[in-house]
Structure 1
Amino acid sequence: MLTEDDVREALRVCFDTELQVNIVDLGLVYGIQITRDEEAPGYEPRYFVHIDLTMRAPNDEREALMLGQIHNRLAGMREVSRSTVEVVWEPAWSAERMTPAARQQLGLDRPAKQGLVRITL
């Protein structure tokens, strides 16, 4: 049976094109619903996957690229017969949704430098 963890793991190869961090670690995937697709052909169970996704900020080009990555990745999973992705804006995304791995990759967990800064003109 296909699980939410399976889908999240598969989506780790889909990246925010600007930050080059995967969408799962960025916290952009708000929800995943998986239902059995009784009408899918074949003998193995097949599933319909619906994803609620947010964006860091509105950007039509980045949104189109990200949605294409997601649909292509899910289409490559033999258990998935169909998928949809809905872009949602509530609740608004914030950096607190990122995993420690994403924060480290972006350098957000480095301590601030202390002391005097010397500027030479």
Structure 2
Amino acid sequence: MDEVKMVPVTSWTPDGETKAVVSEEAVIAAISTVFDPEIPVNIYELGLIYAVELAENGDVRVEMTLTAPGCPAAQELPEAVHSAIAAVEGVGNIVVDTVWDPPWDPSRMSEDARLSLNMF
């Protein structure tokens, strides 16, 4: 697998460079490095990420779900998402909320995920 490079986007003012600006693409790239331990597809492509919200100050809020309420990775995956996002330059506070509504189903998977799992 190719390594994802996190390239910070910075703002410039007449006084020079300011704090890195967090982009949605960088946060999604970071989240895409997290895999469900039982499924060989990243959680973003699986459709487990319902929302990514970015604040101007670099704070990030993510709503995610799991494939099932009894998922054995229920504690690890949100922590892994938090850690992955924390590696993005410029990120402030991070909140990862696990939600159950709407429930996840395979229709949320990307086409690439379906092909990887032979679910046509």
**Which TM class, normalised by the smaller chain length?**
0.7 to 0.9
Runs of 4+ in 1 over 6 A off after TM superposition: none
1:3-22 maps to which residues of 2 (within 5 A)? 3-22=23-42
Assess, with a 3 A threshold, how the Cα gap between structure 1 residues 60 and 26 changes in structure 2: closer, same or farther: closer
Q: Report the number of matched residues.
A: 100
Cα deviation, residue 60, structure 1: 5.9
For residue 104 of structure 1, what is the aligned residue in structure 2?
115
Give the Cα–Cα distance (whole angstroms) in 1 for the partners of residues 103 and 71 of structure 2: 17
2:22–2:89 Cα contact (<8 Å) kept: no
1:1-121 maps to which residues of 2 (within 5 A)? 1-37=21-57, 47-59=58-70, 61-109=72-120
TM-score for the superposition, normalised by structure 2: 0.77
TM-score for the superposition, normalised by structure 1: 0.76
| More displaced 10-residue stretch of structure 1: 28-37 or 1-10 | 1-10
The percentage of counterpart residues that share the same residue type is 30
2:26–2:88 Cα contact (<8 Å) kept: no
